[in-house]
């Protein structure tokens, strides 16, 4: 039984308390991580899988992209660190941030490598945009989707080799972090306990690894080629221990299959 309740837009708008507006058509890593944090903590939250970022979403949430965490009286939270901080303050069944200051700094620095501007997810998006634009939409995202994202996330074709190199650098970084923790006899990236960093790693690897229909039945067919393209570009560079760790984190802590929104996929 998950603490996430998937609702439609009218229910989310009428409700009070924490509401998480997330990507409703694809398992976007930032959205999936935010959902995973609430789930692992057992913190009740209404989840709205929003179909696309549009004017209505902007007018309602004040945000330019998803996820957005809305609460009754506080400004909308859109950044991974703010969403994590809110969930941590709320408590729940476990803490997902190390308490010791040096460990906390390391946790957030590493999380930024995955979730931050210029990090793994950001670079992955540039690679998928590039695949669509350079192939005329025959690979990766369609041209309209690629153009939309290119304008919004400052795509320049010449950045792509550096983006791929950065992704490989981040994978090597996490491979080393996991190897050191495992050598010290620990299960997770930063020691004996699950932290949000394990959740970020698991969700940010999702679209760089093959994703079967059954793993995420609501994934919109039109975005699937983008993920397949990313797998071609970077999948073989993902160290097997990170793939195994992702599998363990999903199997042990996160909901599976990945649910994106309330409605049945056939009616979406
Ligand atoms: N603000 C988020 C990043 C969220 C983000 O990049 N969201 C993308 C996920 S693909 C998005 O909403 N893209 C669709 C759009 O921008 O319209 C954070 O820093 O944690």
**41 shares its domain with 63:** yes
Question: Looking at residue 264, what is its pLDDT?
Answer: 53
Question: Looking at residue 53, what is its pLDDT?
Answer: 86
User: Which residues contact ligand 1 via a Cβ below 6 A?
Assistant: 23, 28, 30, 53, 65-66, 78-80, 115, 152
pTM: 0.96
**90 shares its domain with 105:** no
- DSSP state, residue 185: T
CA distance 142 to 122: 18
Supply the CATH number for residue 153's domain.
1.20.1050
**40 shares its domain with 128:** no
Q: Which residues on neighbouring strands pair with residue 20, listed in sequence order?
A: 47, 69
CA distance 244 to 163: 24
Q: Which of 66, 69, 86, 118 to mutate to test the pocket of ligand 1 (most atoms within 8 A of CB)?
A: 66
CA distance 2 to 239: 31
Q: What is the pLDDT along the chain (268 residues), one digit of tens a residue?
A: 799 999 999 999 999 999 999 999 999 999 999 999 999 999 999 999 998 888 999 999 999 899 999 999 899 999 999 999 999 999 999 999 999 999 999 999 999 999 999 999 999 999 999 999 999 999 999 999 999 999 999 999 999 999 999 999 999 999 999 999 999 999 999 999 999 999 999 999 999 999 999 999 999 999 999 999 999 999 999 999 999 999 999 999 999 999 999 975 444 4
> Which is the closest atom of ligand 1 to the Cα of 65?
12
**76 shares its domain with 32:** yes
What's the gap in Å between 192 CA and the centre of ligand 1? 31
**Domain of 45, in residue numbers:** 4-96+260-267
Question: Looking at residue 16, what is its pLDDT?
Answer: 95
Q: Which of 24, 33, 65 to mutate to test the pocket of ligand 1 (most atoms within 8 A of CB)?
A: 65
CA distance 70 to 11: 13
- The total number of structural domains in the chain stands at 2
> Which is the closest atom of ligand 1 to the Cα of 116?
19
164: helix, coil or strand?
helix
Supply the CATH number for residue 10's domain.
3.40.30.10
**92 shares its domain with 112:** no
In 3D space, the residue among 158, 216, 237 whose CA is nearest the CA of residue 26 turns out to be: 216
**89 shares its domain with 107:** no
Name the CA dihedral angle for 239, 245, 250, 253, rounded to a multiple of 10 degrees: -160
What's the gap in Å between 186 CA and the centre of ligand 1? 32
What's the gap in Å between 184 CA and the centre of ligand 1? 35
Question: Looking at residue 263, what is its pLDDT?
Answer: 73
- DSSP state, residue 246: H
């Amino acid at each position: 039984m998950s603490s996430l309740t998937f609702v439609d837009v009218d229910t989310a708008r009428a409700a009070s308390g924490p509401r998480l507006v997330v990507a409703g058509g694809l398992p976007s890593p930032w959205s999936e991580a935010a959902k995973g944090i609430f789930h692992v903590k057992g913190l009740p939250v209404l989840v709205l899988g929003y179909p696309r970022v549009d004017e209505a979403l902007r007018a309602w949430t004040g945000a330019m992209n998803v996820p957005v965490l809305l609460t009754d009286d506080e400004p909308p939270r859109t950044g991974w660190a703010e969403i994590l901080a809110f969930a941590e303050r709320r408590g729940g069944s476990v803490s997902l941030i190390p308490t010791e200051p040096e460990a906390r700094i390391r946790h957030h620095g590493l999380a930024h490598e995955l979730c931050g501007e210029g990090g793994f997810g950001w670079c992955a998006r540039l690679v998928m945009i590039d695949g669509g634009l350079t192939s005329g939409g025959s690979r990766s995202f369609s041209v309209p989707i690629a153009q939309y994202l290119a304008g919004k996330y400052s795509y320049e074709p010449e950045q792509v080799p550096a983006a791929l190199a950065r992704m490989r650098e981040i994978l090597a970084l996490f491979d080393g972090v996991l190897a050191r923790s495992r050598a010290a006899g620990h299960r997770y990236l930063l020691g004996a306990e699950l932290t949000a960093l394990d959740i970020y790693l698991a969700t940010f690897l999702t679209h760089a690894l093959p994703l079967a229909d059954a793993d995420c039945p609501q994934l919109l067919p039109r975005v699937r080629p983008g993920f397949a393209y990313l797998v071609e570009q970077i999948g073989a560079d993902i160290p097997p221990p990170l793939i195994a760790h992702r599998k363990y984190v999903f199997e042990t802590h996160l909901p599976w299959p990945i649910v994106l929104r309330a409605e049945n996929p056939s009616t979406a």
